[in-house]
Copies of this chain bind each other. A is one copy, B any other.
Amino acid sequence: MQRKLRLTTREVTDRLIHVFREAGYDGASLEALAAAAGLTRGSLYHHFPGGKAQMAEAVLNRAGAALSQDILMPLRARGNTANIINGMLDGVLKYYDGDPPICLMNALTLGEGHVLFAEKVENAVTAWHRMLAGVFSSGAIDLKDANNEATDLLASIQGALILSRVVGTRQVFEDQIERLRHHNY
């Protein structure tokens, strides 16, 4: 199997993701990014003339698209609430695919990354929360309760990611997601 010589910008972007996930914005050096891409530092600037900020933004955009597809799309399905939530949780397991799983948006909102991307991340999370609340409120419960249920579920997922990373094993995350399937929605 021969190594590809010329990469598309999208392929390069995909190779950069895990560096930003594990190191955050400030911790992601061009040296590490270039190594992950299999390119030199100079070559990165062909794909991203805007430098590191543009690299991180491209990675964030890719993650946003994946989140929409894997997690938000199942929330648009019709059916009973429990089935919809189960579909979303399948997407959550797919979207957070590392071992341990790490949330890119969490990693990118510290230090300089916070200055650059806080708004974009907030928008993504808010969209997720709003759609989740919509699913719960269609269950004919009070709108405020629906919002609270959405917050609870989102917090449980994000918290499981934190714990899983701290412990260093994916299993903690998967176990927690399984338990969330059996809650009463």
Contact = CB atoms under 8 A, between A and B. Distances in A.
Nearest to A155: B159
Instruction: State how many copies of this chain the complex holds.
Output: 2
Main secondary structure of the interface of A (DSSP, over half): helix
Contact of A24 (B27, B122, B126): B27
A114 B179 CA distance: 28
Interface residues of A, number: 42
Contacts of A168: 118, 122
A146 to B, nearest CB: 14
A54 interface: no
Interface string A4-44: 00000000000000000011111110000000000000000
A58 interface: no
Contacts of A166: 105, 109, 118, 121-122, 125
Given A23-B26, A125-B163, A159-B155, A179 B148 contact: yes
A113 B166 CA distance: 12
A106 B162 contact: yes
B106 A27 contact: no
Given A159-B162, A160-B155, A176-B155, A24 B22 contact: no
24 contacts: A22-B114, A23-B26, A23-B111, A23-B112, A24-B26, A24-B111, A26-B27, A26-B111, A27-B27, A27-B110, A106-B106, A109-B165, A109-B166, A110-B110, A118-B168, A125-B166, A148-B179, A151-B175, A152-B156, A155-B156, A157-B159, A158-B158, A159-B160, A159-B162
